[in-house]
Chain A
Amino acid sequence: MLMSKPVIELDSVTKMYGISVGTVDISVDVKKGSVYGFLGPNGAGKTTTISMMIGLLRPTAGHIRVLGFDAAEESIEVRKRVGFLAGDMALDKRLTGWQQLEYFGRLRGDYNKGYVAELAERLQCDLSRKFKHLSRGNRQKVGLIAALMHQPELLILDEPTSGLDPLIQAEFNKLILEHKARGGTTFISSHVLSEVQELCDEMAFIRSGKLVAVKRIEELALETPKHFVIDTKDTKLGIALEEIDGVVLSESKKSKLRGSFRGDINVFLKVVVAHGVEDISIDDSDLESTFMTYYSSGGQGTLVDAGTGPDSPDRQSRPKNQGMSADVGTRPVSTDAPGARTDFSSTDSRNVPSPKQATTTSKKTKKGATRA
């Protein structure tokens, strides 16, 4: 089967700022047509990695190829084909949105005013106001239009949804999925899992400049424990459940069983049905808590790559030991409640909440959230 070359290839990329570490030995492949999440706390190295992709920074070691071009030596070719949004978008404060976009469009040589107007309408962005008079969210919208207006093959977006209200975030998600439907590829960085999990086929987790893990969204869901409470009259059910791989019972008294389970839900349900229950409740997967384990463990001993897990058929065939771009299947329906949100914007990589804290935060936020 003919495999297309990755749209983005990071090959053992290291960036040093003098003696300070930017990124260390990062290898990532992003497949054409996918939406790829790049997650980590502030200061993890996300912006450094993205800056190297578009040629603002040069890697200290390793190579980056974007759409087949060397990101350091052929950065103009890369930028012709890429729509880029900086994390902290700054444009000329004395120009209006229209003027700024016209300027960039003319520099690119393909300014389409009609399409800009369409994007502005969809994102509810008033382009007639000067940049200095815009709120952070509206500045972000102008930046998004600048990234999208030339309909690029590849979008590289650094924290694209920060400052956007939920309605505009939903419209942004639509735009990304439309881009994907046209065969486009998107690379999104974020420190908020819930903002990108709806979109992403695959995610890389970065911490302190190092790649901690690369996961497909369905793998993340499988890894994530589901919490259950069972009322039963069958006293042998607890023993039967404990024999299942991935089940941890936290309470087993009289007729009530409480615990968590990770893995294939069908195996679990088969045992439960065989013994019979009075009542059962199973919580949604809390992806945030799993997400947090990649931060709190610091990646030590938890490196699990998409396509390189014990069950992966790709495990033996991949040349790299990190950042595999495994075949991305159909994106599963998210089991996390929309609105559940763990924001790491004020959390640097040296001060990360424990998984327990994260779970608590997530659950608290989920209370009262509306299910999609």
Chain B
Amino acid sequence: MLSSIFTKTLYEKRWGLLWWSVAMAAFTVMIVLAFPIFQDAFGEQMDAIPESLRSIVGEANDYQRVEGYLELQVFMQMVFLTFIYGIILFTGLLAGEENDGTLQSLLAQPISRTKVYLQKLAAGATLLGILSIVMLLSTWAGLAIIDEGTSAIRLLGATFAQWLVGMVFALLAYMIGAVSGRKGIAGALAGVYAFLGYIVTSLAATVTVLEYPNYLSPFRYFNNTKMLDQGLQAGNIAVLLLACLVFSIVGWLVFRNRDIQQ
């Protein structure tokens, strides 16, 4: 496991991933198991909820179908855990190691900064991917327990979209960390952006002034077309991929020539 930066990063993050996976799996299974209760309880009384809140909690009809329930209660909730894990993970990979001095020891070895940057990025993406797969498997397991089912392909697609949204925020944190070398700033800015994005996208349907800012929120490109009902939209995925690419390239361009203080 200590033969490359990629495998060493996976090795050193194994315990963190394990605990996050256990928490993610437990939450996911519990939420899926609660579907029959929500199905019975969330009926016509949902019509009494104000329009502005319905954009956040969903329509009554959504709670009657497993796809609608999974979109609202699993993916829209679990995406929180995904991006929080992603931001914590990616701020630690470069900026965190620079802050505690271990990056300097690594960069004293005869390896290029590009290699360091890309292998750590790849390891982070892999770890976030494993966490997303854990959530996918937990969802399947929960559905099997309550004897429900949905399209495996669409569930896989939704999991991919969730991983991609998590990667957008994670790579934003990675880029800020690579540019500034400061873990706190990287985590704080990416976290604030994620929180504001979530609020803006949730309210954009009812607050007209948020219509244009919503285009800057990665969440707009996540579940705006109901992934489990209609599948992924190529345009949405392209925007999220483009954001990942831009953040990765900007971070790399600055990091490879930046001063690294001891």
B105→A89 contact, CB < 8 A: yes
Point out the residue from B108, B111, B257, B259 that lies within 8 Å of A86, measured CB to CB.
B108
A-B pair count, CB < 8 Å, reads 67
A57→B8 contact, CB < 8 A: no
Q: In the complex, what's the smallest C-beta–C-beta distance from A351 to chain B, in angstroms? A: 23
* Contacts of B76-105 to chain A: CB distance below 8 A: 100-102, 104-105
B110 proximal to A (CB < 8 A): yes
CA distance A51 to B108 in the complex (A): 9
B262 proximal to A (CB < 8 A): yes
Point out the residue from B12, B101, B261, B262 that lies within 8 Å of A94, measured CB to CB.
B12
Binding site for B on A (CB under 8 A): 47, 51, 54-58, 76-77, 79-80, 84, 86-92, 94-95, 99, 102-104, 106-108, 143, 146, 158
CB contact under 8 A between A80 and B105, given known A51-B261, A51-B262, A87-B262: no
Q: List 5 A-B contacts (CB under 8 A).
A: A58-B259, A86-B104, A88-B101, A99-B2, A102-B2
B112 proximal to A (CB < 8 A): yes
A86→B101 contact, CB < 8 A: yes
Q: Which residues of chain B have C-beta atoms less than 8 A from A108's C-beta?
A: 109-110
CB contact under 8 A between A86 and B109, given known A92-B12, A94-B12, A107-B5: no
Q: Which residues of chain A have C-beta atoms less than 8 A from B230's C-beta?
A: none
CA distance A54 to B260 in the complex (A): 11
CA distance A102 to B7 in the complex (A): 13
B208 proximal to A (CB < 8 A): no
B107 proximal to A (CB < 8 A): yes
Closest 5 CB pairs of A and B: A90-B101, A80-B110, A79-B110, A103-B2, A84-B108
CA distance A61 to B5 in the complex (A): 33
B 104-121 to A, binary, CB cutoff 8 A, 1 in contact else 0: 110111111000000000
- Chain B residue with the shortest CB-CB distance to A101: B2
Q: Which residues of chain A have C-beta atoms less than 8 A from B4's C-beta?
A: 106-107
Q: In the complex, what's the smallest C-beta–C-beta distance from A161 to chain B, in angstroms? A: 18
A76→B260 contact, CB < 8 A: no
B2→A47 contact, CB < 8 A: no
Point out the residue from A91, A94, A99 that lies within 8 Å of B105, measured CB to CB.
A91
Q: Which residues of chain A have C-beta atoms less than 8 A from B45's C-beta?
A: none
Q: Which of A86, A89, A99, A107 has the most CB of B within 10 A?
A: A107
A57→B260 contact, CB < 8 A: yes
CA distance A89 to B104 in the complex (A): 9
CA distance A211 to B137 in the complex (A): 64
Q: Which residues of chain A have C-beta atoms less than 8 A from B262's C-beta?
A: 47, 51, 56, 86-88, 158
Q: In the complex, what's the smallest C-beta–C-beta distance from A119 to chain B, in angstroms? A: 17
Beyond A107-B109, A143-B105, 4 additional pairs, beta carbon < 8 A: A56-B107, A77-B110, A86-B104, A107-B111
CA distance A102 to B3 in the complex (A): 8
Q: Which residues of chain B have C-beta atoms less than 8 A from A80's C-beta?
A: 110
CA distance A292 to B247 in the complex (A): 51
CA distance A99 to B110 in the complex (A): 18
A90→B110 contact, CB < 8 A: no
A79→B109 contact, CB < 8 A: yes
Q: Which residues of chain B have C-beta atoms less than 8 A from A103's C-beta?
A: 2, 8
A76→B8 contact, CB < 8 A: no
Q: Which of B5, B101, B109 has the most CB of A within 10 A?
A: B109
- Chain B residue with the shortest CB-CB distance to A131: B102
Q: In the complex, what's the smallest C-beta–C-beta distance from B12 to chain A, in angstroms? A: 6
Q: In the complex, what's the smallest C-beta–C-beta distance from A163 to chain B, in angstroms? A: 15
CA distance A108 to B109 in the complex (A): 7
CA distance A84 to B261 in the complex (A): 15
Point out the residue from A58, A89, A99, A107 that lies within 8 Å of B257, measured CB to CB.
A58
Q: Which of B108, B257, B262 has the most CB of A within 10 A?
A: B108
Q: Which residues of chain B have C-beta atoms less than 8 A from A57's C-beta?
A: 259-261
- Chain A residue with the shortest CB-CB distance to B107: A56
Q: In the complex, what's the smallest C-beta–C-beta distance from A363 to chain B, in angstroms? A: 35
A86→B105 contact, CB < 8 A: yes
B110→A54 contact, CB < 8 A: no
Q: Which residues of chain A have C-beta atoms less than 8 A from B111's C-beta?
A: 76, 107
CA distance A158 to B104 in the complex (A): 13
B109→A104 contact, CB < 8 A: yes
CA distance A143 to B107 in the complex (A): 14
CA distance A47 to B111 in the complex (A): 21
Q: In the complex, what's the smallest C-beta–C-beta distance from A333 to chain B, in angstroms? A: 35
CA distance A47 to B100 in the complex (A): 17
CA distance A146 to B260 in the complex (A): 20
Q: In the complex, what's the smallest C-beta–C-beta distance from A95 to chain B, in angstroms? A: 8
Q: Which residues of chain A have C-beta atoms less than 8 A from B100's C-beta?
A: 90
Q: In the complex, what's the smallest C-beta–C-beta distance from A293 to chain B, in angstroms? A: 29
Q: In the complex, what's the smallest C-beta–C-beta distance from A21 to chain B, in angstroms? A: 15
CA distance A92 to B11 in the complex (A): 12
- Chain B residue with the shortest CB-CB distance to A58: B259
CA distance A99 to B111 in the complex (A): 18
CA distance A356 to B195 in the complex (A): 62
CA distance A72 to B107 in the complex (A): 13
A56→B104 contact, CB < 8 A: yes
- Chain B residue with the shortest CB-CB distance to A57: B259
B 164-197 to A, binary, CB cutoff 8 A, 1 in contact else 0: 0000000000000000000000000000000000
- Chain B residue with the shortest CB-CB distance to A76: B110
Q: In the complex, what's the smallest C-beta–C-beta distance from B148 to chain A, in angstroms? A: 42
